[in-house]
């Protein structure tokens, strides 16, 4: 009777444990948020480049177990750019490992084979998904799920559909699931602390920005220039993040390959062997376990076996056929910062970066036989360069033009094409004024005449203001004379006697209602008739 009563009590106790575990699991999610050893870094800063790369910085606090913590995030970092570091100047990250999940075997070597040691490791893994290998009634068994409770006799797992009570004394091995990253820290006196503030920095594909300008004409000399940036995020969620939009692209060699740790490799680096300090990442470089070719004596092609293609392909689809503006035209580094921006993966956002008053002027450009073009000259007297981007010019609520404003340094001038110059009449004419017959005979019965031609460019200003005109007049021969301080030049790629070519350039100013005539002469060889 006593045996029956004891068995019933054991069954009831087991039922209460399972029921309590299931109820606890139902009231909590499965992210492991309540486990103090799970590091959950949040992105607090990202530098976005126009070529589809972003430099992300994460940070977060965590409690340590014998100097260790675990994490979910292994970002698709570009080779040589992933760093995990401590914000505490007296603490360094000396080991970063990744794999299928931390494994502890209670075999007397990895960990002691006693109930107290097992219970301690189980308590450190509460609220995490684990797999327990244990022996029960002489049989080897295993169970997987979220560890929701650790009692004197049983550990309770919840798989989402069922709950399992695993006897603690029978556990032989525990493996942490879905948390592939393991991090170990140590202080400079070689002691492990009980908490840390860790950071993570890495370069990855999947985010870009496209600059766009609006130029609002205010009067004959002043305009309002507004720069907006369209951020396209196909990388990861940004929540209350400082986003730095960068003009110019640094030199990154291995952006087509992942860091070894992101493809299942385990890298060990000692903090004392870190690279010298850099101005921007001084603490990171000295406190980090960096995963990259600087600390592993192997060639990239020998380790990295998977290209970072998926985020980039997704980004290309999101951007569509927009022009690529991150080339050599943007050579100076300028950063526009938008603080506290929330932009989820798959979202786009337009952010206003600055609104500035600038001076502008008019210029006309003519390269016969093409039509004369009217452009606005933007005088960049602001405190920042103007990056390459499309610009919409507006006057009195009506659009004037939309064209590409090219990179303009501080103190420089940038041209914005407006339209054809219909109020400046322009005409080009040429006539022969001299011919030397058979001036050149390279062989018998082959003769060439040397012809001198005179040309005239006539202009009249019908605008209500004085105009400045830049003329680039190409000529099919060798220029020999030009009035009004015309600048003559020859094409060095066309110096053969019969292929000679050059140009004459003028810059002239014409008052309203006035005419201007420019004359020039050049010579060329033609076949004798």
Per residue in 479-489, pLDDT (tens digit) is 999 999 999 99
pLDDT in tens, 287-344: 444 443 333 332 333 333 334 444 556 666 655 555 544 444 444 578 899 999 999 9
Q: Cis (ω within 30 of 0) for the bond into 369?
A: yes
Cα–Cα distances in angstroms (integers) from residue 455 to residues 348, 518, 524, in the given order: 56, 8, 13
Average pLDDT over residues 221-249: 92
pLDDT (tens digit per residue) in 94-151: 888 888 888 999 999 999 999 999 999 999 999 999 999 999 888 999 999 999 999 9
Q: What does DSSP assign to residue 465?
A: S
Sign of the four-CA dihedral 189, 85, 74, 158:
positive
Picking from 330, 334, 340, 380, the residue whose alpha carbon sits closest to that of residue 359 is 380
Of 520 and 383, which is predicted with more confidence?
Answer: 520
Contact 500, 523 (CB under 8 A): no
Provide the 8-state DSSP code for 262.
Answer: G
For a pLDDT cut of 70, what percent of the chain falls above it?
78
Lowest-confidence segment of 50-54, 246-250, 291-295 by average pLDDT: 291-295
Residue 291 or 425, more confident? 425
How far from the centroid of its chain's Cα atoms is residue 263's Cα?
21
Q: CA-to-CA distance for 430 and 393, rounded, in angstroms?
A: 38
C-beta atoms surrounding 304 within 10 Å: 23
Among the listed residues 471, 491, 364, 468, the one whose alpha carbon sits nearest the alpha carbon of residue 428:
471
CA distance 64 to 198: 11
Query: CB of 241 within 8 A of CB of 342?
Result: yes
Residues contacting 164, CB < 8 A, separation 6+: 18, 143, 145, 156, 157
Look at residue 15 and tell me whether its pLDDT is greater than 60: no
pLDDT value, residue 262: 64
pLDDT of residue 288: 47
For residue 209, give the nearest of 402, 382, 343, 42 by alpha carbon: 343
* Contact by Cβ (8 Å): 333, 246: yes
Domain ranges of the chain: 2-30+103-176, 424-527
Query: What pLDDT does residue 313 have?
Result: 64
């Amino acid at each position: 009777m006593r045996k029956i009563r004891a068995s019933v009590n054991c069954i009831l106790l087991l039922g209460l444990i399972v029921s309590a575990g299931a109820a606890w699991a139902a009231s909590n999610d499965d992210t492991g948020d309540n486990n103090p050893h799970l590091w959950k870094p949040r992105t607090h800063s990202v530098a976005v480049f126009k070529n589809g790369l972003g430099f992300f910085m994460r940070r977060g606090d965590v409690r340590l177990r014998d100097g260790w913590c675990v994490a979910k995030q292994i970002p698709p970092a570009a080779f040589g750019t992933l760093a995990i570091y401590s914000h505490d100047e007296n603490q360094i990250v000396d080991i970063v490992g990744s794999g299928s999940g931390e494994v502890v075997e209670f075999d007397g070597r990895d960990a002691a084979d006693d109930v107290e040691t097992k219970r301690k490791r189980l308590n450190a893994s509460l609220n995490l998904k684990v797999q327990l290998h244990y022996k029960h009634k002489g049989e080897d068994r295993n169970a997987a799920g979220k560890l929701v409770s650790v009692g004197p006799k049983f550990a309770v797992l919840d798989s989402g559909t069922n709950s399992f009570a695993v006897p603690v004394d029978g556990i032989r091995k525990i493996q942490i699931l879905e948390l592939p990253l393991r991090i170990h820290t140590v202080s400079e006196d070689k002691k492990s602390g009980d908490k840390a503030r860790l950071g993570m920095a890495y370069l990855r594909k999947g985010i870009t920005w496209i600059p766009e300008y609006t130029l609002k004409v205010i009067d004959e000399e002043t305009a309002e220039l507004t720069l907006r940036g369209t951020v396209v995020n196909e990388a990861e969620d940004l929540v209350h993040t400082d986003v730095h939009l960068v003009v110019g692209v640094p030199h990154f060699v291995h952006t087509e390959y992942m860091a070894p740790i992101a493809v299942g490799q385990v890298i060990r680096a000692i903090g004392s062997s870190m690279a010298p300090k850099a101005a921007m990442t001084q603490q990171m470089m000295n406190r980090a376990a960096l995963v990259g070719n600087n600390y592993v004596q192997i060639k990239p092609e020998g380790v990295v076996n998977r290209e970072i293609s998926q985020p980039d392909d997704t980004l290309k689809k999101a951007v569509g056929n927009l022009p690529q503006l991150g080339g050599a035209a943007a050579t100076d580094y300028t950063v526009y910062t938008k603080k506290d921006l929330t932009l989820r993966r798959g979202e786009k956002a337009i952010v206003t970066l600055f609104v500035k008053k600038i001076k502008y002027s008019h210029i006309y450009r003519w390269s016969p036989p093409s039509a004369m073009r009217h452009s606005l000259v933007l005088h960049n007297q602001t405190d920042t360069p103007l990056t390459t981007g499309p610009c919409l010019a507006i006057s009195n609520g009506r659009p004037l033009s939309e064209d590409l404003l090219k990179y303009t340094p501080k103190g420089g001038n940038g041209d914005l094409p407006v339209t054809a110059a219909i109020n400046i009449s322009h005409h080009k004419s040429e006539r022969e004024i001299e011919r030397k017959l058979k001036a050149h005979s390279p062989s018998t019965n082959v003769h060439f005449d040397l012809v001198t031609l005179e040309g005239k460019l006539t202009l009249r200003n019908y605008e209500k203001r004085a105009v400045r005109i830049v003329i680039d007049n190409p000529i099919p021969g060798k220029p020999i004379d030009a009035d009004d301080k015309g600048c003559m030049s020859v094409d060095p790629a066309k110096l053969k006697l019969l292929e000679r070519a050059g140009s004459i350039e003028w810059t002239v100013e014409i008052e309203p209602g006035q005419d201007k005539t420019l004359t020039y002469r050049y010579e060329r060889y033609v076949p004798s008739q």
